[in-house]
Structure 1
Amino acid sequence: MRMIVAMGAAALTLAAGGAAQQPAHDDARVVFVEPDPQAPAGPLPCYRRIGDPARAASLAKLLDNDAARWALDLYARARGIAAARGLAGGQPAEYTIAIVPDGENSAVGFRLRTPAGVENHPRAAYVRLGPEAWRFTTTLLHETGHVALAMLAGGRQIPRREIAAIPHTVAALTDRGTAFDEGFATSLETLIAFVSDAPEIRRQYDHVQLLFGPAAGMRAEYFWPAAQLLTFAQPHERYAAVRDDAFAFAPAFKQPDYLRVQVETARDFASVRDADQLLASEGFYASFFFSVLVRGEREPSADVIRFRQDSVLTALAETFATLPFTPEEPFLLHFLATYKRVRPADWGEVLDVFLDLSHGVFADAAAASLWRTQYLAALGLDLAGLDRERIDAARSRWRLAAAADPRVLYARLGPQLRCEVAGREVKLVGLGSDRPLSLDLNTAEEGVIRLVPGITDAEVASWRAQRALAPFASVADFRRRSGLSEKTLSSMRF
């Protein structure tokens, strides 16, 4: 595979093995900073430029890899789009990378001490990375996704609600803001895994090494599923499962175990998640944004991918500038409506991506049942039962309705309704995370619902059936329609 990536004035060839024939970061301006121990007190972290030329040069060399080149190119293009709309006034042209111990996150707002004094950059997005080389590959690319969104939103991070009892992960349902923000960033990892032939990328995202025996340690195939879980990021799933739209489907595990339901990636492919669930799924957003870039019968060129990504960035900037910016917003649906206005020429293709990946659940109450029938017929090799004519007719109806008025895609959404469950905790020992079990009444998976103390099979079935008829409009509506007894409700804190 061979990709040509234009970055600024330079053209960079990524050949087999990922070797750079021309280092792109010569033209991508990066400023390395570090915490300033002598900084005056203030509301924002304060940094100073790394003054040691040898250390700065050593850090710059870490940017000579496929993922970093994509990250720096994305930063420049996103900032240019934001600047064209007057949204980048507080964003430096240089990409600020703060070198901090264990850093692997993005942030907005910092101070910079210079010989002339302390500069304030309250709306500047930047990344915080540890000095280890591995952080300058896909971690940098992922966090640059967050930086790009913050720039396009005028120096604001995507608003989130803390609903899930664990940090985000690609398989889990969290909340709309977290899923949107993390899904967009994860899609960049899927993209680089798709386009790059660099050995380090292949090893990280594709299952290309089959190792056996004691000498292999935890890289041996014996440990493979557990080793993926120990990363928590599950990079293999960020490529293969996202590429294949696996997270449009419900978890295969349906018994009462929060971590197995939320973190395991095995899917029940007969059961499509509903509209509210998809808007809380990081994995689904990642599949959408990735698929928009690479759609088509043939693998697109790098120029086509960049053009499509610029179209996405442009529509996102317009979305954030003109529509509400709260944790409750269905940002993806807002994006689709905006895309129709700013990029009408390929709006139909982007809409097709969305409708097919979601299997029509935003547009049609019968879509999940239609898919289930198709899938089970395929499972039994029942060609007559595939019912292609009916499905093709339904897909055409969805497309015509949404193309005429994107607001039809909002019709099956309910609000986010957070609830804590008394007497239940979720522990992630390695992350030091120990939280009460919390869930969203309108998105909780079956295995999570079963964790409510004393809940019966009949109550689980009623909760899910009533929600399928119409999302719960409020806690009062949930109490009225869910079918839960007062005893069961007594353990739920709304």
Structure 2
Amino acid sequence: MLILRILAGCLLAGCALLPTQAAELGVLAPVMAGDKPQFRDAANGKPAPVVTRVVDGDLYAQLQREARDGFVATVLAIDEGAQRAAGARELRPSWLYLSAEDGGFARQGFWLQENGRQRFVDEPYVDLVVDEDSVANGDFEEIFAHEMGHVFLRRLVPDLPPGYSRTPHASMSITDYSTAFDEGFATHFQGLARRMTANPKLREQELGLASKPFLGYWMSNLDRAGRVVGVRRNWFVQAQLLPPGDDATALARRDLSTAFDSARLRDGQQMLSSEGVVATIFYRWLVPGPDDRDAVVQRYWRLFASFARRDGRHLRHDSPVLLDLVDRYCVDAVDDCKRVQAVVLDTTYGATTGRGLPALTESLATNGRLGDMESFVGGLKQARTQMAQLQEQVAKDPAKLRAGLGPDLWLMVPGQHLGWRAESDVVAVNLNTAELESLQLLPGVDRAAAERALDSRRKVGVFIDLADFVRRAGIDDANVAKLRQAAEAARKAGPNERA
């Protein structure tokens, strides 16, 4: 625990941190039974892979070169800080499991087969399909960094609660506070990888010199572009436009829309439930500054020490996790607090504090895109004044940073097999983040009622409870009981434990 005490002391004193070291990249391969990887139940009853350590071969040598000379070396050095801040007495490898089937996940626990025996290793690892081409073209470097972001959180924030959303996550989608925090933190590492890479092929991708026709329209490629370009350009604070289509695909078209209205913002609760917005906040928080390895790593070590020091206070699924941890960081890093609060306010246009500055921003944006110079300049001066005032208010009273947020009000509707949601038999709807298409799935909520609800939420503010929603949406008495049943169904179903 000595390094953790040193890290904590440096937070208070503002000193330079320790020279960076790096965890080892431990490479694992599945033990096969025929053409299938073997699994064995762990103590929690869940299957875990049976693996052996890889210590030689061309791919292993290529991976170790990345661990020594590439951006992967920076990621491993960051993991040194995550492990130490989490209280590790002995540095463990950063584990990479070479998946034979599916990949792109951070997982926990595996059976390590050595000398004819198997022992369970209860440590996080990255599950990823890797080959020599993916290492050579930089894809491995970028995606490994993303998945290690999840590993860092599993080390440092093991009590991160699951959220209630059943929406498959994507950079464009709105889910819940916890999912957005977990995914957004991991996503911001992709932009950092692009900034620091020495891989010539990844640099070509970064500069737009390696694009191919047609493939960019595939959903996962659109999502990946959003995770880099969209995060940097702060796309995801803007409201999504609904592309044309039929009713059967309405939810998917809304969730996955890459068309954004530059003159209309999401509200604060939607923003903090968006992994794209959370990624932008972390990108602006941690990436600026010197880009040599030691400087980058030490910025993360400082954050990690604060994440680990929460004085026994646990996070809740219905609380904005990002703001909870910003508050903790401000206690530890007083010298950096005002800057980080300003990052949140600048990125969200003050939307987590209320509707005042966002409404002015939307008016400014409307004039800006029409080229109305006189109106834009006048609005810009007013907006900058309000932003500066808001930053001073939040610095004096951090609770104002979340003043515009409301409670999570989840309802669950069964049997909705809609497009890409076909893997789930339910749709979970949060009244304070839902859009038109999901509100219309609720019993007794037709298009007119959904539009009344959204208009009221936008102008008046968040719903306090279900009764408040019923009153402002104009729901008739005959359907109130059904809505209460949907709320009770969500309570009984509980949070969504994502894979």
SS in 1 for 2:163: coil
5+ residue gaps, structure 2: 1-17, 488-499
How far apart are residue 46 of structure 1 and its match? 5.3
| Contact 1:48–1:112, Cα closer than 8 Å, also in 2 | yes
Between stretches 460-469 and 39-48, larger displacement belongs to: 39-48
Instruction: Supply the AA of the counterpart residue of 2:199.
Output: A
Aligned length: 447
1:16 paired residue number: none
**Structure 2 CA distance for partners of 1:452 and 1:46, relative to 1, 3 Å:** closer
**Structure 2 CA distance for partners of 1:306 and 1:8, relative to 1, 3 Å:** closer
Over residues 211-256 of structure 1, what are the superposed CA-to-partner deviations in whole Å (9 max), with x where a residue is unaligned? Answer: xxxxxxxx32xx25523x2x26622121111101100111022776
Separation (CA, whole Å) in 2 of partners of 1:7 and 1:58:
30
Instruction: Supply the AA of the counterpart residue of 2:173.
Output: A
Separation (CA, whole Å) in 2 of partners of 1:346 and 1:118:
47
Instruction: Tell me the C-alpha RMSD between the 2 structures.
Output: 3.3
How far apart are residue 35 of structure 1 and its match? 3.9
Separation (CA, whole Å) in 1 of partners of 2:75 and 2:165:
30
5+ residue gaps, structure 1: 1-5, 10-26, 211-218
2:165 paired residue number: 163
1:253 paired residue number: 242
1:318 paired residue number: 309
135, 142, 149: which is aligned to 1:138?
142
SS in 1 for 2:418: strand
2:225 paired residue number: 236
| Contact 2:70–2:198, Cα closer than 8 Å, also in 1 | no
1:58 paired residue number: 59
Q: Do residues 441 (structure 1) and 445 (structure 2) align? A: no
Separation (CA, whole Å) in 2 of partners of 1:277 and 1:201:
32
Q: Do residues 375 (structure 1) and 374 (structure 2) align? A: no
Separation (CA, whole Å) in 2 of partners of 1:466 and 1:232:
36
How far apart are residue 110 of structure 1 and its match? 3.2
11, 24, 31: which is aligned to 2:26?
31
Separation (CA, whole Å) in 1 of partners of 2:154 and 2:316:
14
How far apart are residue 483 of structure 1 and its match? 2.1
336, 343, 347: which is aligned to 2:333?
343
Report the identity percentage: 25
1:187 paired residue number: 188
**Structure 2 CA distance for partners of 1:39 and 1:75, relative to 1, 3 Å:** same
1:15 paired residue number: none
Q: Do residues 105 (structure 1) and 94 (structure 2) align? A: no
Instruction: Supply the AA of the counterpart residue of 1:314.
Output: A
1:94 paired residue number: 93
2:156 paired residue number: 152
Give the alignment of 1:203-214 within 5 angstroms: 203-204=204-205, 207-209=208-210
| Contact 1:205–1:235, Cα closer than 8 Å, also in 2 | no
Over residues 154-186 of structure 1, what are the superposed CA-to-partner deviations in whole Å (9 max), with x where a residue is unaligned? Answer: xx2632224133x21000001111110000111
| Contact 1:74–1:148, Cα closer than 8 Å, also in 2 | no
| Contact 1:28–1:73, Cα closer than 8 Å, also in 2 | no
| Contact 2:79–2:94, Cα closer than 8 Å, also in 1 | no
| Contact 1:144–1:185, Cα closer than 8 Å, also in 2 | yes
**Structure 2 CA distance for partners of 1:108 and 1:397, relative to 1, 3 Å:** same
1:327 paired residue number: 317
Separation (CA, whole Å) in 1 of partners of 2:365 and 2:149:
34
**Structure 2 CA distance for partners of 1:63 and 1:185, relative to 1, 3 Å:** farther
Separation (CA, whole Å) in 2 of partners of 1:459 and 1:442:
15
**Structure 2 CA distance for partners of 1:193 and 1:450, relative to 1, 3 Å:** farther
How far apart are residue 452 of structure 1 and its match? 5.0
**Structure 2 CA distance for partners of 1:224 and 1:132, relative to 1, 3 Å:** closer
2:12 paired residue number: none
How far apart are residue 470 of structure 1 and its match? 3.3
Separation (CA, whole Å) in 2 of partners of 1:292 and 1:333:
13
Separation (CA, whole Å) in 1 of partners of 2:69 and 2:316:
31
How far apart are residue 332 of structure 1 and its match? 0.8
How far apart are residue 109 of structure 1 and its match? 2.8
**Structure 2 CA distance for partners of 1:482 and 1:78, relative to 1, 3 Å:** farther
1:18 paired residue number: none
Separation (CA, whole Å) in 2 of partners of 1:435 and 1:160:
19
**Structure 2 CA distance for partners of 1:252 and 1:63, relative to 1, 3 Å:** farther
Over residues 167-211 of structure 1, what are the superposed CA-to-partner deviations in whole Å (9 max), with x where a residue is unaligned? Answer: 21000001111110000111001221233353332455553346x
| Contact 1:169–1:233, Cα closer than 8 Å, also in 2 | no
How far apart are residue 68 of structure 1 and its match? 9.2
Q: Do residues 129 (structure 1) and 118 (structure 2) align? A: no
1:213 paired residue number: none
1:3 paired residue number: none
2:394 paired residue number: 402
Separation (CA, whole Å) in 2 of partners of 1:31 and 1:104:
17
Separation (CA, whole Å) in 2 of partners of 1:254 and 1:478:
27
| Contact 1:271–1:372, Cα closer than 8 Å, also in 2 | yes
| Contact 1:292–1:308, Cα closer than 8 Å, also in 2 | no
Give the alignment of 1:9-24 within 5 angstroms: none
Separation (CA, whole Å) in 2 of partners of 1:408 and 1:67:
45
SS in 1 for 2:469: helix
| Contact 1:270–1:376, Cα closer than 8 Å, also in 2 | yes
How far apart are residue 291 of structure 1 and its match? 1.1
Over residues 133-161 of structure 1, what are the superposed CA-to-partner deviations in whole Å (9 max), with x where a residue is unaligned? Answer: 426332211110000111112xx263222
**Structure 2 CA distance for partners of 1:194 and 1:449, relative to 1, 3 Å:** farther
